[in-house]
Amino acid sequence: MDDNPLLAELQWVHGMLRRDLATVRRLADQAAGGAPARDLQQGLRKLQSNGPLFQLKINCLSYCQFVHHHHQAEDAMLFPAVRRAAPQLRATVDRLESDHRVVSDLLDQVEGAARALGGDDAEIRAKLVVALRTLSDRLLEHLEFEEGALGPVLKTWKRWPFHG
């Protein structure tokens, strides 16, 4: 963690995402190993209910919804503020926004595969495993890049520019 409260807040949220991605990885490994569908669904439900972030469940996997909302907030508030404060990071912000679209599609794939999981259908299991692993790899890469790229700008801020 950094001593800058704004970067620390971003890293705190990303830390929760990383923690739960580790759980997602374990679920993928269990699915690949042939764990019963009921056990996998129970693991997903447990992921949804553990921790304050995952009580934000609407009508689908709350983890996916939280990441969707987090990225939407960054797109709507953080990234425009970064563009204003550091115009030299325009290409970086473009990449981050592009990453968000890719991650959004991957989240949709995880949600679809999780909902389709019901029996011992190897094809659906394989789809879930690939979706979870791909999401984990891509999102971890994105979080690392975002923190490194935006850290220097966030360290110069005394408060979030979009909060009154």
The whole-angstrom separation of Cα 20 and Cα 66 is 12
> What tokens appear for 127 in the block?
């789809």
Q: Which of 12, 10, 1 is nearest to 150 (CA)?
A: 10
State what percent of residues in the chain have pLDDT above 90.
37
> What tokens appear for 9 in the block?
């807040």
pLDDT tens across 131-163, in order? 888 998 999 999 999 999 999 999 999 888 876
Name the CA radius of gyration of the chain, rounded.
17
pLDDT tens across 91-101, in order? 999 999 999 99
> What tokens appear for 129 in the block?
């495993």
